[in-house]
Chain A
C-alpha cells in the first residue's frame, strides 16, 4: 500500500512541522487518513478486527509521536480503534444470530456443520456471549440477507462447502471493513458538523442584553455567538485580544462583520471588565478526562477572574477534543513553547542577544508557551455536540467514546519508544 504510505508520510510531515493548526482540521484529516489506511488494509481470514486494529495502531502511534501536543490526533485514533472494536463485536453477534437461525431452520445442514466441531463450538460460544449484549437493530437488518445466503449455497452441493465458507468469510471481512468505514465517515461528519450542533444550543445559554467575554479566537465560539445573534438575541461581546498572537483581533473583526456589538480589550484588562460580564464563553484545545481544560494561554487568568466575580465560565468543545487521558499522565505534553519572535522583534533586541560580550550566556530569556491548563473546579459548564455537561461528568462522556483497552495500549507503546 504505497499510496497510503505516502499519505501517512505527508501528514506526518505536516504534523511535525506544525503546519496544521486547529484541532478540528487536525481531527478531520486524521480521521480521513485512518479511513484510507483501513480501506487499504488487506484482510486476513481470521481475526480481521485484530488486523485492522493493528494497522490503525501502527499509523496512529506515529501520528501521535509526530505532534504529541495536538491531542486531537490521539483522540481520533482512539475513536477509530473503538469503532473497529464495536463493529467487530456487533458483527460477530449478528453472525451468531444468523448461524443459530440457519441451524434451526435448515436440518440438512446439520450434518455438514457437525464435520466442523471447532467452528460450531466457537459459534455457540459466541452466540452465548452475544446474548449478553443486544445487537444493534441496523446490523441485524443488514445481516439478514447475508446469513440467509449461506445455507443456500452450502445446500447446493457438499463439495462447495469449503468455497462457501471462504465466501462467507470474505463477505464478512468486507462487511467489517465496510461497516468500519461507514462509521468512520460518520465520525468525520460529526467532526465537521460539531460547530453547528454546539451552536444550536446557543439560545439556551445567551440571553437578551447580556455581556459575553471571550479570549483569543475560536471558530466554535464565533459560530456559537453568531447563532445566538441570528435568533434575534441582542447582546454585547468583550473580546480579549489574546497576546501574543492577537487572534482576538480577527475574532472582533469577524463579529463586527456579522453585526455584533463588540468591544476589544487587552488581556490585562480582563479583571477590570469582568464585573460587567454575565458569562465567559471560550474555546478549548483539549478537554481532559478529569474535566480540566487545555486552552490558549491566558485563559487560566480569565477563569480565575470569573471565579472571583462568580461569572459562569463556559467551555465549548467538540467531541473530538475530549481526551481520555488525565493531565497528570506522563505522556501528556501540556504545553508547547513557540518562537520568541511572536513576542518581540529579533532585530531590535539583537544587541541583548549578543553572546560575544559579557559572560557569554543569554541574559534575556523569552518564554512563549502556547497553552494554559484550567483546572476543572474553575469551569462551570462544558457545551459539547451532545449537550451541556458538568466537569465532573466528563469522564463518563469519555467512556462512551473510547474503549479502555486503547488507553492502556497507547501508554505502553509510547513509552516503549
Chain B
C-alpha cells in the first residue's frame, strides 16, 4: 500500500524495476458494447443490473480492490450518467488506497474506441488489468502479475496475459455452461503462449484449420476446447498504443487478440494464465447471468457472496443455500425450496412455492404463487396464483393475478401483465417500443453493428413513447402495459441458447440426432478424402450429382477445372511433360486430392481438347484424340500407378461419353483400343472393368456392349498367351 506514494513521484519509465513501483491500475469497461441484454439495457446499463441483488459492478470492484489494484478507471459509455451517479453515491468513492475514476464518453461504440480514448488521456503508467464491469472473480492476481512481469523482463513483446479457466463445453450444444460458443485455443504447454484463438468456429464444417507454421514452429502445442476465457487480461502499456495504431481494432478478442496472433511482423505475444481453485467468469448473456447467479449462491465466488458483501447481519445463510434478509415477512405456509435469495422487506403470501430463485427487495408476492429458477428484482408485485418459470422480472413489474410466465421470458422495467395472461416462452417485453427514441448516449448500448437493428420492430412510425393503451392492452392481456418484442426467424434459433431457461429436452434430442448425422457425414467425407482408390465410394461420390457431400463435390469440380487449365497451358505453351506433372501434383496437394483424381481429370481435359479442336468426322476426332494421347501419354501415365486408377479412367471416359462429350460415344471402343495400344491401360484393367460392368443395369452396359468385340479380342489374346505359357 505504501507503494502508492512512491509510484506517484516516479513517472513513466522504461526500467522494469521502476515500473514495478507504480500503483497497480485497472481499466474497467462499464459497457459491454453488445445488445444481448436488451430490452433491459435500454433503460439501465448492464453493469448496474443486480446479480443476486447486488449490482454487477460491485463484484468487479470488490474483486479489484481485494486483488490489490489501487486505481481503477471506469469507462462509462451507455447510460454513463447512471453509472457515474451510482459510483459517486456508493462506498467506492471513499475507499482508502483504492481510487475509482470515471471516464465518460458518448461516441465510443466498441472496446477499441474506449481504449483509444483512455490512451489519449494518458492515465495508464504501467501494467494494468483490463476487465469489463460484468466480471465476477475471486482469483488472486499476485501470481499472474508476477508471471507477466517476469516474462516482460525476458521478452518485451509479451504484452498481455489472459486468464483462462477449465470448463468443459456441452458436447451436445457446443456451448459452454456460460452460454458462449465453444472456444478453441492452442497453447504452448511449456511457455503458456497463446497461439490460436477461435470463439466462432463453424460446426457445420466439423473441423477447424490451423496454420501449418503453428505446428512447425512450436515443439509442442496443446489444442484446448475445455478452456473458458475469463476476460481478465493483464496488459502492458503497449496494448493501448496498439489499439491506437490499429484504428480498425474494435472487439478485444475478435480483432485485437486474433490480430496479434496472425501478425508476425511486430512479434507481439499473448500468454495465458490458468486458474484452478479460484473462480472467474463474465456475464455475457442471459444464460451466463443464470449460471453465475447460481455459482454465487453456491458460494464458488467466496468471499464475494451476498452475506459477506452485504454484511452477515443483513443477510443470513441458512440450510440448503437459502439466503434470507433480516426482515422478510414470510407466511407460515409458504414453502421455500433450496438455493434461494430473498431480499429485505419482501412479503411472501400463503402456500407460495419458491425454488432456485432470487427475489429482490421490497417485493410483494401473493398466495399460491409458484416461482422456479427466476430472477425477480426490486419492488415487484406478483399477485395471487401467478406462475413464473425461468424468467427475469425487472424493477417495478406488476403481474396481475393468474398471470403465467413461460420459460425464458424477460420482463423489462415497470411492465404490467394482465390477469390470467400467459406470456409465451422466450418473449422479451418492454415498455419501450422503439429503441431509437432513446437519448443518443443510451443508444450506444446497442450500437453494435452485428445485430444492431435486427430486433427493432418494424412499425417505427409511432413516434412517441407514451404507450398506446388500446394496442398494448391487447398484447399483454387486460390491464397489461408493455410491448412484446418480435423475434425474427433467424434469431429464434439463438433464443433458447442464450436464455435463462434451461434448454428444452426436445431441442437437446434434436441436436443429438443432428450431431449423429453430422458424424456420419464426417466419416463419409473422410473416406473420400483419404481414399486410395477404393472404387465403390469414389464412384458414388463423384457419380451422383445430388450427393450429401456437396463440399467435396464442389472441390472436385474446381480441381478438375484447374487441371484442365494447367493442361491447356501446357499444350499451348509447349511445357515439358515433367513440369506439367509437377504442376498437376501441386494442384493435387493443394486440393487434397488423390492421384486417381488427377488421372481422371487429366484424361478428361485431353478428351475435351480433342473434342474442341476442329474436326469434321468421327475419324478425324479419333485422330485428334490419338495425337493428343500420344503426345501426353507420359503425363497421364504418371498418375496411373495401378489398376484401380486405370479403371477409374475408364469410368470417367464412360461418364464423359454419356454427358459432356457425346461425340465420343461412337468412338468408345476405338479410344479404348488406342489407350491399350499406348500402354496407358493394361488389359487387366479393361477386363476387370468389363467384369464389374457385367452385373450392372442394362443402361450401364451400353458401352460394354459396344466394346464387346475389343474385349473379346483381349480375352482371346490372353488365353492364347496362357496357352503359350503352358
Which A positions have Cβ atoms within 8 angstroms of B?
A: 6, 9-10, 13, 16-19, 65-69, 333, 337-342, 345-348, 350-351, 353-362, 365-366, 368, 414, 417
Contacts and interface: CB of A to CB of B under 8 A. Distances in A.
Contact of A346 (B95, B167, B287, B317): B167
Q: Is the interface of A mostly helix, strand, loop or mixed?
A: loop
A357 B317 CA distance: 27
Given A10-B97, A65-B311, A339-B279, A361 B339 contact: yes
Contacts of A333: 312, 316
B169 to A, nearest CB: 9
Contacts of A19: 66
Contacts, number: 127
Given A346-B276, A356-B503, A360-B502, 20 more contacts: A13-B65, A17-B66, A19-B66, A68-B313, A337-B317, A338-B299, A340-B300, A342-B277, A345-B277, A346-B166, A346-B279, A346-B300, A348-B166, A350-B167, A356-B177, A356-B291, A359-B502, A360-B290, A365-B320, A365-B321
B170 interface: yes
Contact of B177 (A13, A342, A354): A354
21 contacts: A16-B309, A17-B65, A65-B312, A68-B312, A68-B313, A337-B302, A339-B138, A340-B298, A341-B277, A345-B277, A351-B177, A354-B177, A355-B287, A356-B503, A357-B170, A360-B356, A360-B501, A361-B356, A362-B356, A365-B298, A366-B298
Contacts of A355: 177, 287, 290-291, 294, 502
B299 A358 contact: no
B168 interface: yes
A338 B167 CA distance: 21
Interface string B309-339: 1011110110011000000000000000011
Contact of B299 (A10, A67, A337): A337
Contacts of B175: 356
Contacts of B502: 355-360
Interface residues of B, number: 54
Most buried by B among A66, A337, A346, A358: A346
Contacts of B295: 353
Nearest to A347: B166
Contacts of B339: 361-362, 365
Interface string B157-187: 0000000011110101101010100000000
Nearest to A360: B502
A356 B179 contact: yes
B166 A9 contact: no
A333 B307 CA distance: 12
A365 B338 contact: yes
A341 B138 CA distance: 11
A308 B309 CA distance: 42
Contacts of A342: 277
Contacts of B299: 337-340, 368
A362 B175 CA distance: 18
B206 interface: no
A190 B218 CA distance: 61
Contacts of A356: 170, 173, 175, 177, 179, 287, 291, 502-503
A160 to B, nearest CB: 46
A362 B298 contact: yes
Contacts of A366: 298
A414 B313 contact: yes
Nearest to A417: B313
A333 B175 CA distance: 40
Nearest to B389: A360
A350 B173 contact: no
Contact of B276 (A347, A359, A365): A347
B692 to A, nearest CB: 50
Given A353-B177, A356-B179, A357-B508, A339 B302 contact: yes
Contacts of B228: 350
Nearest to B167: A350
Given A337-B299, A338-B302, A368-B299, A347 B96 contact: no
B491 to A, nearest CB: 18
A347 B66 contact: no
Nearest to B504: A357
A350 B168 contact: yes
Nearest to B498: A356
A407 B95 CA distance: 31
